[in-house]
Structure formats: C-alpha cells, structure tokens
Structure 1
Amino acid sequence: MDPSYFTQVGKVLVPTLLTDFGVQIAGWSISAFLQTEKFYDLAGSTSFVLCTFISLYKPWDENSIWADGMSPNALLRAIHPRQIIASGTTVVWAAYLGSFLFSRVLNHGDKRFDKVKKVPGRFLIYWLVQGIWVALTALPVYMTNSIPASVHPDLGLQDYIGIALWGLGFAFQVIANYQKQKWRKEIGRDYKRSFISTGLWSLSRHPNYFGECLLWFGSYLVCSSAFSAALESPAPIMSHWMSRLAVFSPMFVTFLITRVSGIPLLERENDRRLKDVVAYWKYKKATSMFVPTLPRRNVE
C-alpha cells in the first residue's frame, strides 16, 4: 500500500472519523427506537466537539499531550496557537449551533423527519449523511491538529485574514438567527402568512447561511497555513492528496447549503407558504438570495 496512507495526519484522521460515525450510529439507534428527531442536531454538534478534541489531544498516543508527567510549559509547547484558534472556533460554533438547533427542535420539531423517523433504514441514511457533513466540514481543523506544533509556521497574514472572516461569518449567523427568533416571537400566530425582511434579512434572504459558509472559509485559511510546512517536512506528516482534499471543505459546505439541503428547501417552502403574499414576491425579487447586498429599488 502507498506509504502516504500511513502519514501522521492519516493515523489521526482514522480514529477521529471513527468517533464521528460512532456518535451517528449511537444517536440513530436511540432515535430510531424512540422514533424522534430531537437528538439529530445535538449529535451533530457533539460529533464536531469530540472529533476536534480527539484530533488535538490524541488520547491513544503515549507521546501525546496526555502523557504522564508533562509540565505546563511542555503542554503549551505541544499545542500551536493555530491549533488553539482552529479548535476553539470550531467548538464555539458547534456549541452555539447545537444549542440553537436543539432548542428550536424542542419547540417546533423538524418536518424533514416526519416520515423517515418511523422507518429505521431510511432514518439511518440521514445520520450517515450527517457523519459525512461532520467529517468534511471540519476536515482542515482535524488535519491541522494532527500536524506537530514544531512543524507549524508562525501565525501570519493569512491566519489573521482567516480569523477575521470567521469572526464576521459567526457574527452574521448569530445576529441573523437572533433577529429571526425575535421576529417570530413578535409575529406570533401570523408567522405562516408573514416573513422577515428587516435587519440582516433586508440584505440577504439567508444571511445566517451566508455567515456559516463564510466562517468555514475563514477556518480553512487559518488551518491551511500549516499544510505547506507539513508537506515540506522530511517526516511523512501529510500526503499531497490530503492537502488537496482539505480545500473542498468550505466548497462542500457552500454547495450543501446553496444547492442541496439549506436554501433550496427553505425557498420552496416559503414560495408555497407565501404564494399569495404580494409583498413576499417583491422582497424576493429585490433581495439577494445569499451574499448580502443593498436591496434593489423600484422593484415591481
């Protein structure tokens, strides 16, 4: 077998991804038995946190930062600031999104699972797809955590740009979700015949999704700063095909949200629910679907 399959990054990715899919199988088993979708998003965010933790700390490795007797100074030297930033931002995002979605599903349920949650085989597919989502979305984070701190270059301009993009994207997602929650609470029972068009929602029909895609592009920029150094290292740390695969992470997130499970589903649902609401169609015509822009004027 090609030795590139046995690089240090590859050895870390295997247990990390096994953890990911182990969480999905466990979550599916419980949820299929109870015929509930309430744990789906919570399992997804838990997977992100556990996979990030495992890729960084490598608890199975006797030379990892879990090693007995490691001094605080040695512990700090074993983790590069880039790894702290990549891991910390991932955990913060996962904790936020997981709690937000879990609260929402408790209050409103999730129509996606109305039929499949009673058919274990079909229900399992949703959980496996979530496992793929967890694996590919944060793949650059798991990879950069797998690279020894001694190999990482110092933080530079690319890292700071990535951090800024992540911060902007996270702010967009949090603020947009808050604005929609507040609007929905204020609108009450009229929700099904109305729509939000204020705040960030006046700049984009899906500002929360734009924020999520932007933050993962930022995360990739931070993580990828270490890939070149890892490829140039004389030790087999990372293979070229792995570094190329990582670039698909933010592209995958954007494709999934804009073409598959995010925006298309909501657009179809809103078009159906608001088909007789003239103001909605004017808003849709005047407002960008994804990237925030100033609304077009004089739209009839």
Structure 2
Amino acid sequence: MGDFAWMALSSAILLALLQIAAAAWSRAVGRWAVADIVWGPGFAALAILGLLTGHGGVGRRLVVAALLTVWGLRLGAHVWLRSRGHSDDDPRYAHMAQGRSAPSMMLRVFGLQGAIQWIVSLPVQAIAVSPDPDGFLWCLAGFGILLAASGILTEAVADRQLQRYKAQDARPPILDTGLWAWSRHPNYFGDACVWVGVYLIAASAWPGPVTFASPVVMVALLVWGSGVRLAERAMADRPGYAEYRSRTSIFVPWPPRAG
C-alpha cells in the first residue's frame, strides 16, 4: 500500500499543478468553462504519469494509458471546438459566479474539479503500482477493456451525431435518430462505461478492488450531478420533448417504446 500512497500523492500534485494552470488560463480568457476543456486531458495526464513512473504490470498500464489518452484528448478537443465562437461563459458557471468573488470561484470550480479527478482516477493509480492479474482474473480485465473501449466509441459517435444535428440550418426540435433514438443521453452513458470499465481493469489485481468510489462518483455525477439532470431540466420545455421522453430510455440505450 506504500507504493499506492506514493502514486496517490504524485497524482494529487500533478492535478494541483494542472488545475492551477487551468485557473490561470480561465482568468486570462475570462471564462470559467475552461474547466470543462481540461477535464478529459487531466485524466490522460494521470494515466501517462502512471505509465511512466509506476512499476506495476506493464500490460494494463499501457492499455489504460492508451484508452484514457484517446478518451481524454478527444473529449477535450470536442469541448474546445464546441466552445469556439461563444463569447459568453457557460450558463452553469455564470449562475454559480453570482455573488461570489474570483478566489471563491477558483476554489469552487478548479479546486473541486481537481478533488473529483483524484477520486475518479483511483483505479488508474492502483493499476500503476499493481501487478498484472493471474489466471481467470485476466477475463475481468479483458471485459473492462472492452467496456471502456465501447464506451469511448459510444460517446464519440453520440457527440458526432449531436454536432451534425446542431450544424443543420433547419433542424427538427429534437434529435431522436441514431444513438439518440435509444437513449436521451448516450454520450453520458458512454462516459459511464469508460469509468466502470477502467475500474474493472483495476479490480483484477490488488489494491484495485478498493477503488470502487471511482465509478460510483462518476456515474452519480453523470446522472444526478452536472450531466443528465441539468440536460433534462434545460430540455424540458422544448417542443416535442415530452413525447420523446415518453418513448426513449433516459440513460441506458434501449429500443424505443412504441408511440
């Protein structure tokens, strides 16, 4: 456990430096939403840290570093491209900033994000210092790899479909085709699969099983935190959304109910 503690401390230091840099960038451009851009790449940096400085089994370290680098950089690029051309800050942060000083907001946005990243990255830290699994436990790791990879693909496809929908000049009020016909939030579902998968990879060797807080926190954030809950609230009054909601699964993709 001493090696795990050292990796946890190294990860905390790296996250602190990343969030300080993100806070400085945020103040330079006058937008708190910079936090969303650095969210994914922060995890990629942690996975690379584990690959380069950890001494656990090289197989899982390589796979997880590859998966999270692809996931994190794609997500960061997607959020950055989505935010280009918008002079106003994200309404979530604008609402949060009301009545708060800049130092208070920095702590609330970047300090909290760093703490959450540290908790969610616990399986990555465990993988960095634990041996590759023996025997049938490779099946658990293999299932985790497949789940994480499918989550990355699901999230990327869902984001691409949403991007194409928003680019239409005359688009329907609701996106209900492709993955969005089976789930109202397939991008968030894909994200959840990534982190459940990473946890399963970690759980195939000690001390991975004790890092279960990671998928619990991530799924809770995606469903009840800043993900599904806020998106549902924002879409509630859109024409046709009530009917779409009545026939489409909220999270886990499922064949739509007949109207």
Q: Same fold (TM over 0.5)?
A: yes
Shift, 1:33, TM fit:
4.6
The residue correspondences of 1:39-118 to structure 2 (distance < 5 A) are 39-58=34-53, 80-108=58-86, 110-115=90-95, 116=97
8 A contact 1:13–1:55 mirrored in 2? no
Shift, 1:181, TM fit:
0.5
In the other structure, the counterpart of 1:37 is: 32
Structure 2: distance between partners of 1:33 and 1:180: 30
8 A contact 2:59–2:132 mirrored in 1? no
In the other structure, the counterpart of 1:158 is: 140
Q: Sequence identity of aligned pairs in percent?
A: 26
The residue correspondences of 1:1-300 to structure 2 (distance < 5 A) are 7-37=2-32, 39-58=34-53, 80-108=58-86, 110-115=90-95, 116=97, 119-124=101-106, 125-147=108-130, 151-154=131-134, 156-186=138-168, 188=169, 194-227=173-206, 243-244=209-210, 246-272=211-237, 274=238, 277=239, 279-298=240-259
Q: So what's the TM-score if we normalise by structure 1?
A: 0.77
8 A contact 1:42–1:102 mirrored in 2? yes
In the comparison of the two structures, how many residue pairs are matched? 252
Structure 1: distance between partners of 2:243 and 2:25: 45
Structure 1: distance between partners of 2:166 and 2:29: 29
Whose radius of gyration is greater, 1 or 2? 1
Q: So what's the TM-score if we normalise by structure 2?
A: 0.88
Provide structure 2 residue ranges, at least 5 long, that are not aligned to the other structure: none
Shift, 1:100, TM fit:
0.5
- Report Cα offsets for 1:105-146 as digits up to 9, x if no partner: 124452222352984134211111211232122220121112
Shift, 1:41, TM fit:
2.4
C-alpha RMSD of the superposition: 2.3
Structure 1: distance between partners of 2:21 and 2:117: 15
Q: Secondary structure at the match of 1:97?
A: helix
Q: Secondary structure at the match of 2:253?
A: coil
Shift, 1:52, TM fit:
1.9
Structure 1: distance between partners of 2:174 and 2:143: 34
Structure 2: distance between partners of 1:172 and 1:268: 23
Provide structure 1 residue ranges, at least 5 long, that are not aligned to the other structure: 59-63, 66-77, 228-237
